[in-house]
Amino acid sequence: MSSDIHMEGLSPHSLIGFRISVLDKGYVRLVDFMGSDLSVVNAARASFAKESKEFGEKDERLLDFLMREEHTSPLRHCFVTFEIKAPLFVARQWWRYIVSSAHTESTPGWSEASRRYITMEPEFYVPDSWRKAPENRKQGSGGVINDEALNTELGQRLQRIIDAGLEAYEFALEAGVAPEQARLFLPAYGMYTVWRWSGSLQSVLHFLSQRLADDAQWEIRQYAGVVLYFVEKLFPITTQAWLKYQMRWSQ
């Protein structure tokens, strides 16, 4: 997080536009947000036609109660929009959670760059190290492979596949093939894509409860950590109360 030192002490609105690098070529950028910790407690108090003008100790206790008892509907009154650049397999994991979660909005905000309409410069994720298959699970990974020669060989093999796909893609474009078909030559899973994700604070925290878990894939955990970093800056007291009880959310 190379931008951390510049973000300390800044107001939430001054963080709009900040971008934090993830993996080798990816990032998470805060595009916009709406609401605050005060918005959450005032949404909770609406049932009693009450409202706080300034956040105080009673509001902090209310937030703790809401997170402890999983009364999360007040979180729907706060929103965040991120721009994300990540390998396609990370994007699809992200999307799979968003559309299958009972805690997300019925119409999730997701707008992704399309290679049907634009010819983006293809970029690919090549891991610095490779991980072992897990011994007792069908998914996930074990520890890092410590064989330097094998790590180098795996990286070289992947790079050769990428280079061959790029050559075929460029040949097809130069031959006049439509970009929407030429992209079929590009190795898909490791190719970077860019999208904007908008969701309520409730949706974002439920996403984090799943993608920060130890059994989530390492790459998506890196992105989830940056999303959490931004959320902590925008909604600090709510996030701390959520972190106190978040293990219950992931069950």
Q: What are the C-alpha distances in Å from 237 to residues 36, 59, 69, 244? A: 9, 10, 16, 11
In a domain, 104, yes or no: yes
- The CATH code of the domain that includes 99 is 3.30.1360.170
- pTM of the predicted model as reported, rounded to 2 decimal places: 0.82
Q: Which of 170, 189, 208 is the last residue of a domain?
A: 189
* pLDDT category of residue 3 using cuts at 50, 70 and 90: very low
Residues forming the active site: 211
Structure confidence at residue 165 (pLDDT): 93
Say if residue 86's pLDDT is above 80.
Answer: yes
Cβ atoms of 204 and 108 within 8 Å: the answer is no
Q: Which of 149, 172, 189 is the last residue of a domain?
A: 189
Q: Is residue 96 located within the same domain as residue 43? A: yes
* pLDDT category of residue 163 using cuts at 50, 70 and 90: very high
Q: Is residue 94 located within the same domain as residue 112? A: yes
Helices (H), the chain: 4-7, 37-45, 57-68, 88-100, 148-174, 179-182, 201-211, 218-234, 236-249
Structure confidence at residue 1 (pLDDT): 45
Domain enclosing residue 168, as ranges: 131-189
**Average per-residue pLDDT in the chain?**
85
Q: Is residue 107 located within the same domain as residue 168? A: no
In a domain, 36, yes or no: yes
What are the helix and strand counts (H, E) for the chain? 9, 5
Q: Which residues in 104-123 are b (16+ Cβ under 10 Å) and which e?
A: beeeebeeeeebeeeeeebb
Total count of domains within the chain: 2
Q: Is residue 182 located within the same domain as residue 197? A: no
Say if residue 2's pLDDT is above 50.
Answer: no
Q: Is residue 114 located within the same domain as residue 136? A: no
In a domain, 156, yes or no: yes
In a domain, 125, yes or no: no
Q: What percent of the chain has pLDDT over 90?
A: 49
How does pLDDT run across 58-77, given as a tens digit for each residue? 999 999 999 999 888 999 99
Whole-angstrom distance, CA of residue 214 vs CA of residue 134: 13
Structure tokens at 250: 């992931």
Contacts of 236 (CB under 8 A, 6+ apart): 37
Closest by CA to 74, choosing from 50, 45, 105, is: 45
Q: Is residue 59 located within the same domain as residue 110? A: yes
How does pLDDT run across 136-154, given as a tens digit for each residue? 666 667 688 888 999 999 9
How does pLDDT run across 89-112, given as a tens digit for each residue? 899 888 876 665 555 555 567 777
Q: Is residue 102 located within the same domain as residue 174? A: no
Q: Is residue 183 located within the same domain as residue 201? A: no
Structure confidence at residue 137 (pLDDT): 64
Better-predicted residue by pLDDT, 167 or 141: 167
Q: Which of 141, 174, 189 is the last residue of a domain?
A: 189
Q: Is residue 13 located within the same domain as residue 56? A: yes
Better-predicted residue by pLDDT, 18 or 122: 18
In a domain, 110, yes or no: yes
Structure confidence at residue 249 (pLDDT): 52
* pLDDT category of residue 26 using cuts at 50, 70 and 90: very high
Better-predicted residue by pLDDT, 124 or 227: 227
Structure confidence at residue 172 (pLDDT): 93
How does pLDDT run across 187-216, given as a tens digit for each residue? 888 889 999 999 999 999 989 988 898 888
Q: Is residue 45 located within the same domain as residue 166? A: no
Q: Is residue 159 located within the same domain as residue 244? A: no
Q: Is residue 83 located within the same domain as residue 56? A: yes
